[in-house]
Structure 1
């Protein structure tokens, strides 16, 4: 499984790279802190795969990286996605390494 670090994501965003942010946490978690992008909770993913882009890299985000890894395994094995990147350490890593003002939970 391909991963991207929070620093690599920050650099890509700063340089305007086209990508999709896909957050697979629950709405209550997304409300605490998020990077924007599309919220599709992991349990809803099978019904909403049409919202996952195939034409750009898709960075899959969760709290620490476990649910995003599950999402990537599901999407790649079941639907053949090959453009998915797991955010290493999840939103927690972003908050602790990139944005110290972001809420943590």
Structure 2
């Protein structure tokens, strides 16, 4: 999967964990960003490969630092997918259209993609 295969942001706010797993190469090469909007204490428990931390509590500042251009696709995740939806809404309202929340968050990743990722 490539970033071009992601759903139309006008019709979808979420992608599935399997879609994110399929984007591993694009994430590794910086063609798609993976942003964890959980807080630092959660980040220390577990995280996804290639993810960058931008806690929702400081999201405006951190997102500006992490997102070099408004056209770079990004996937946001949290614990269960609720905070990441708020982060996507914020980004889109500030001109960053190509962004999606990972449905079910890191918990769904642990359930469906990689059971070695600790649950909490």
> Aligned residue for 2:13?
2
Instruction: Show structure 1 runs of 5+ residues with no match.
Output: none
Indicate the SS of the match to 1:64. coil
Residue 81 of structure 2 is aligned with which of 42, 45, 65? 65
CA distance in structure 2 between the partners assigned to 1:96 and 1:4 by the alignment:
15
> Aligned residue for 1:30?
43
Q: 1:73 to 1:104 in 2, by over 3 A?
A: same
Query: When the two structures are superposed, what TM-score results if normalisation uses the length of structure 1?
Result: 0.89
> Aligned residue for 1:89?
104
Q: How many pairs align?
A: 102
RMSD between aligned residues: 1.3
Residue 117 of structure 2 is aligned with which of 88, 91, 102? 102
> Aligned residue for 2:23?
12
Indicate the SS of the match to 1:86. strand
CA distance in structure 1 between the partners assigned to 2:54 and 2:41 by the alignment:
12
Q: 1:55 to 1:80 in 2, by over 3 A?
A: closer
Shift of 1:57: 1.2
Query: When the two structures are superposed, what TM-score results if normalisation uses the length of structure 2?
Result: 0.78
Structure having greater relative contact order (Cα 8 Å, sep ≥ 6): 1
Superposed structure 1 runs of 4+ greater than 4 Å apart: none
